[in-house]
Amino acid sequence: MDAKAIWAYLAFVLEKQKKFSEAIEAYGRAGDPEGAARVRENEQIVADNKEADEHNATIEVIKQRMDEIQRELDEITGGSKEPPRR
């Protein structure tokens, strides 16, 4: 087995471990620019997914707070959705 093949195997393992920068370097040493490009793309996808998950968590917190506020409002108004009459 030659050095490039060893670097390629190492790059694959590092990629699966989500050690993206190390995998990119290893693919470079293996002479596999396509592998390095794929890792860069996967790294961006992971970052995008993390950001989306964070936004979804924030939305869930907001929805829970809205439900709490609605329950409080229902208690104050006696459960009516109508505005109070004067």
pLDDT digit string, tens, across residues 46-55 = 999 999 999 9
pLDDT digits (tens, 9 = 90+) for 9-25: 999 999 999 999 999 99
pLDDT tens digit sequence for 27-79? 999 999 999 999 999 999 999 999 999 999 999 999 999 999 999 998 887 76
Chain CA centroid to CA 77, Å: 41
Q: Which residues make Cβ contacts (< 8 Å) with residue 11, sequence separation at least 6? A: 23, 24, 26, 27, 29, 30, 32, 35, 36, 39
The whole-number pLDDT of residue 80 equals 65
* CA 61 to each of CA 50, 55, 66, 75, 77: distance values in angstroms, whole numbers, following the listed order: 17, 10, 9, 21, 24
